[in-house]
Amino acid sequence: MSAIDRALAANRYFAETFELPPRMPNPELAAVLCMDARIDPIRTLGLHPGEGHIIRNAGGRLSDAIRSLAISQTILGTREVAIVHHTECGMMRYSDDEMRMMFRKATGAIADGIAFLPFHDLEQSVRDDLELYRQSTLLRQDIPVRGFIYDVETGRLTEVE
């Protein structure tokens, strides 16, 4: 059975026990996280349907999430932001040039103009994204924005100051 077929089977079970979320969600929190499959952001952050927006990308980088986060805040009303990077992140393993070479070898694609946004210092990557947030004119500057590191071995969040 393929991964998509397994997902569809799981969805059939989910639909049988599905409870309708609130008609007008009132999301308070927007969280920017890595797409790493080891992270379950709903459980990690203790959220229920309608309580938050989860924005995910490789590395949990803010620059990749600004458009979605701006919509979350300005149009949909989120009032707090959590930026979450994590231990053992794959984006810490390679440089932009190494990733470009991997794409060229795997697909023949030339990705010279793409910034893959790797990083080597986990805490600094969170600080960099917090600073990028503060510099953005699209994002609300009047709400709490905090940065965290998620430990994939313990499930704990640690705040980055």
Domain of 109, CATH number, reads: 3.40.1050.10
Return the pLDDT at 21: 73
Is it the case that residue 129 has pLDDT exceeding 80?
yes
Return the pLDDT at 22: 66
What is the residue range of 37's domain? 3-160
Give the chain's domain count. 1
Tell me the C-alpha to C-alpha distance, in Å, between residue 128 and each of 8, 65, 123, 135. Answer: 39, 14, 9, 11
Residue 154 or residue 110, greater confidence:
154
